[in-house]
Chain A
Amino acid sequence: MATLADLMKALPEPQETTPRAGTPAVLAELSLRPVPVGRLRRMGLLGSLQTKIAAAYVFYWIRGWFKSAADKERLLAETHWRTAVRLLDSMSYLRGATMKAGQMLGNLPDIIPAEFVEALERLHFDAPPMHWSLLREMVCNELGDDPENRFTSFDKRAFAAASLGQVHRAELKTGQDAAVKIQYPGIARTINEDFRNLFLFMLPAHLSADWENTREQFEDLRTRLDRETDYLREAATLQKARSLFRDDEGIVIPKVFPEYSTQRILTMERLEGMHLEQFLANNPSQEVRNEYARKMLRAWYRMLYTGRMLYADFHPGNFIFMEDGRLGIIDFGCMVELDETLWELFRKMDRPLTTGRRDDRVAVMKEWSSIGDDPADADRLRVTDEYADWSWNARYCGGEYDFGDEADFRRGIDLFLEMVRKRYSRALPSTPMMARQHFGWWAMLYRLKAKVAITPIAEEEVRATGWDRRDYAPVIA
């Protein structure tokens, strides 16, 4: 079973940090700890960390973590990874958030050591389970009776760890196979409290020029994580997403069983199949991999253009490679509903995405990242544009795109790091989420070594928006 201690082992020893006494053993135990409730105690845990700066890392997600890697000094970067992981681990009672971070890191295979990624991947599926007695109480509390009575059968062992809980196989009274996701007790409120605490630790950052922007991004993350703990909300999203696909499209989103679902328990249809690693281990052909990649892209665009929501949780654990070639998508806790602002932004982005023209791109980037015409902003504009060009090229290049090209993927990461290093990350609050989901799905396609043409899929799907695209759409055949 992978623990955070395994992750720590996968990293080289830091050069200049002061390790806590007995760290490995403490870490091994920490990952097995339950979720404590109570602010003072958590403040104590946080306070035991060596640096306040490290605290700022964590919920500064991408920005904080990439700051050091941008120096291209691998060792230094890894020292920082270690600090970040250690910090996360001190909060590992907060299993959900820790795993969330782990899952995001796991999506970026090339900038962190391979062993680290492997350990993280195991973490997705092998997180320490709640024992049966605790589960039984949770089920009884939430569904009104013991699992033995409420279900025909209920596996005592979790078959998967969810970001904020764990998932069990069960058979409903109706005979249907189900996956029952159960949340760790108290975790929802714990997250809220932690954000408040972290906010206090970030006080020194209040003085920086970008503070207001950081605060907004921070708040955005808090809201999203908060939503993720509401399984009823996730159930509603699942139902909405499911309704977007026809049976013959080979994209399966599990059915929800509302009578077995509450805010803390989500019961849905169980999808049988393999996860990414297992799938790749069987050496699937290029065409098979491409076909799955097309389905992923189709699903992502459908949810975006028809469902007006972003699937922001691209990590291997959320995709099921089903035997009959269908693609199962699970875990809808991290869906982002597009509000009018974001929707309008996507509408505006459609033009550069379609034409691939620099002028179109710059116009949108200026608005998104609040870049003015001041000459001082020239470099900012250049880097931002290069990053946008890298991000969107696959869409407007028209032909097949090789997502398995490591140099290309690295170029994107480097550009992103450059933006972060130069503090060009000022943007709308949802930027961390956008970057996360973008790198997330790119990393999935990279790992599939997919060679696919995005344009035809995107063009088919974008029609659902009803946008008037007459003056630019024809540019690309």
Chain B
Amino acid sequence: MRVSAQTKAATRDRILQAARQLLAEKGYEAMTTRGIADAAAIANGTLFNYFATKEAIIACLASEAIAESMKKADANDRIGESLEEDLFAVIALGLRNLKPLRKHMPVLLETCLSPLAVSVSDESTSLRVNQLEAVESLARKHGFGPLSATALQLYWTLYIGLLMFWASDKSPKQEDTLALMDDSLNMFVGWLRTEMPDDPTAIKPKGVSPWPPSQTS
């Protein structure tokens, strides 16, 4: 029997929902794919049709949380007064959505969000691509040309760095992360301004290049 796309999507949602719940109840270590399958009322084997590993599920949760923030940011027509401000808004929204996953960030950062993770899952690639596309689009709105591969790489590194800092930020209400975000983004956009105007050597990518570049290409 063929499974309709609708059913597929519903099952995928059930898995993610079950994972969210188990993550909150048991934590990452104690959470098993079997447990998730049970909670989602599907066979263990079926789960693997959707996600190869536990990490892939978490990566998907993170990716969805971030994508959600992108959607919100996109739906918001208002352009901020500066690129720094808009980038800040996107990252901040992402952090709000990632909040339930904050204590599991180390796992994500070691796996799908690691700069070394090349092909752990499609989720990690799409997360990166989505994020960088949003950055490109915002930069365009603020009058910047296409961003060089270096610029995107730098941004991604900053972004991951911020997530790392946030994951272990012990300051009250993680206020230090806000200060660091502000600082990092000022630095990034400041660099972009000096970099962008007339740098003929800058590599102009076609669309957004995923980073790091795929080993096979």
* A interface residues, Cβ below 8 angstroms from B: 32-37, 130-134, 136-138, 140-142, 184-186, 189, 263-264
Contacts and interface: CB of A to CB of B under 8 A. Distances in A.
Contacts of B122: none
B111 to A, nearest CB: 27
A264 B175 contact: yes
Given A34-B183, A134-B88, A134-B182, A186 B175 contact: yes
A108 B86 CA distance: 41
A263 B82 CA distance: 29
Top-4 shortest CB links A-B: A185-B175, A34-B182, A133-B88, A133-B89
Contact of A134 (B171, B172, B176, B178): B178
B180 interface: yes
Contacts of A141: 173-175, 178
Contacts of A142: 173
Contacts of B209: none
B175 A132 contact: no
Nearest to A29: B190
A136 B183 contact: no
Contacts of B173: 141-142
B179 A37 contact: yes
B85 A185 contact: no
Contacts of A131: 80-82, 84-85, 88, 182
B121 interface: no
Contacts, number: 64
Given A185-B175, A189-B171, A264-B175, A137 B92 contact: yes
A186 B88 contact: no
28 contacts: A33-B183, A33-B186, A34-B179, A34-B183, A36-B183, A37-B171, A37-B179, A130-B182, A131-B80, A131-B81, A131-B82, A131-B88, A132-B80, A132-B85, A133-B80, A133-B85, A133-B89, A134-B182, A137-B88, A140-B96, A141-B175, A185-B178, A185-B182, A186-B171, A186-B175, A186-B176, A186-B178, A189-B171
Interface of B: 80-82, 84-86, 88-89, 92, 96, 171-176, 178-183, 186
Main secondary structure of the interface of A (DSSP, over half): loop
- Which of B84, B88, B178 neighbours the largest number of chain A CB atoms within 10 Å of its CB? B178
A270 B80 CA distance: 27
Nearest to B90: A133
Main secondary structure of the interface of B (DSSP, over half): helix
Contacts of B176: 37, 185-186
A37 B180 contact: yes
A178 to B, nearest CB: 22
A36 B186 CA distance: 12
- Which of B82, B173, B175 neighbours the largest number of chain A CB atoms within 10 Å of its CB? B175
A137 B179 contact: no
Contacts of B92: 133, 136-137
Contacts of A264: 175
B173 to A, nearest CB: 4
Contacts of B179: 34-37, 184-186
Contacts of A33: 183, 186
Given A131-B81, A133-B92, A141-B175, 18 more contacts: A33-B186, A34-B183, A35-B179, A37-B171, A37-B176, A131-B82, A133-B88, A134-B88, A134-B181, A136-B89, A137-B92, A138-B178, A140-B96, A141-B174, A184-B179, A185-B176, A185-B182, A264-B175
A33 B179 CA distance: 10
Contacts of B81: 131-132
A357 to B, nearest CB: 53
A34 B89 CA distance: 16
A264 B173 CA distance: 11
Contacts of B180: 36-37
- Which of A32, A34, A130, A184 neighbours the largest number of chain B CB atoms within 10 Å of its CB? A34
A136 B89 CA distance: 9
A189 B92 CA distance: 22
Nearest to A156: B81
A277 to B, nearest CB: 27
Contacts of B172: 263
Contacts of B85: 131-134
A189 B176 CA distance: 10
B175 A133 contact: no
A2 B119 CA distance: 51
Contacts of A37: 171, 176, 179-180
